[in-house]
Structure 1
Amino acid sequence: MRTVAGGVLVDVMPGASEQTRGVKVLNANWTAGPDGGDGRFEVMVVTEDDQQHQLAPSPGSMCALIALTQADTVLLWDPADRTLIAANVVGTMPWTGPAGGRSG
């Protein structure tokens, strides 16, 4: 997983609010449920401005989230809409590289 350094992405990332920041840390906890159950996931997202955000994705969503963190993506968190934005799933957005002022 790569991080994005500072800046607002409103002009370059459709749907991003002015509060959107790069993901610096993503931690997950899983609490077992009854035998045969899915249990419960809790995720903490820490953005580049050191703000902490909590979410509780479904097991299916958690699988997708883990896959995105293992790919060569740039993750951003928009707290205004509680939206995780994944850039560079296929290809590379210009603003995510050194020329765009972002580090990875």
Structure 2
Amino acid sequence: MTGASSATRRVTHLNANWTPASGGDGSFELLVVTEDERRHSVPTTAAGLTALASVLRDGVVLLWDPDGQVLSIGNLFGEWIPADWSSRSGPASG
């Protein structure tokens, strides 16, 4: 993926934890699990989680770049990244 580092891996699981706070939105944290079974903890806001949830659907490919702390969301429209893309087989071109 353009702009991604060589450490970028496909996301296999994405979970969120919410810690409530009195009088506020509380705090959210994403758990990003990549195809190499590494776990990455990423703090986010309620607004960030809402925006992310709005684009998650069948056909979307998530890629995590731990070097840049970037979650790339591929195939929002069209299929630029093959659904079975894996960093283990080489980077996607484009």
TM-score range, shorter chain: 0.7 to 0.9
What's the counterpart of residue 25 of structure 1? 13
* Equivalent in 35, 39, 44 of residue 48 of structure 1: 35
Following superposition, which runs of at least 4 residues in structure 1 exceed 3 angstroms of deviation?
none
* Equivalent in 93, 96, 103 of residue 82 of structure 2: 96
Alpha-carbon RMSD: 1.6
The TM-score normalised by the length of structure 1 is: 0.75
> May I ask how many residue pairs the two structures share in their alignment?
86
The TM-score normalised by the length of structure 2 is: 0.83
What displacement does 1:31 show? 1.0
Name the structure where strand makes up a greater proportion of residues: 2
Give 5+ residue unaligned stretches, structure 2: 87-94
What displacement does 1:71 show? 5.0
What displacement does 1:58 show? 1.0
What displacement does 1:32 show? 0.9
What's the counterpart of residue 39 of structure 1? 26
> 1: distance between equivalents of 2:30 and 2:41?
6
Give 5+ residue unaligned stretches, structure 1: 1-12
> 2: distance between equivalents of 1:97 and 1:25?
15
What displacement does 1:69 show? 2.5
What's the counterpart of residue 63 of structure 1? 50
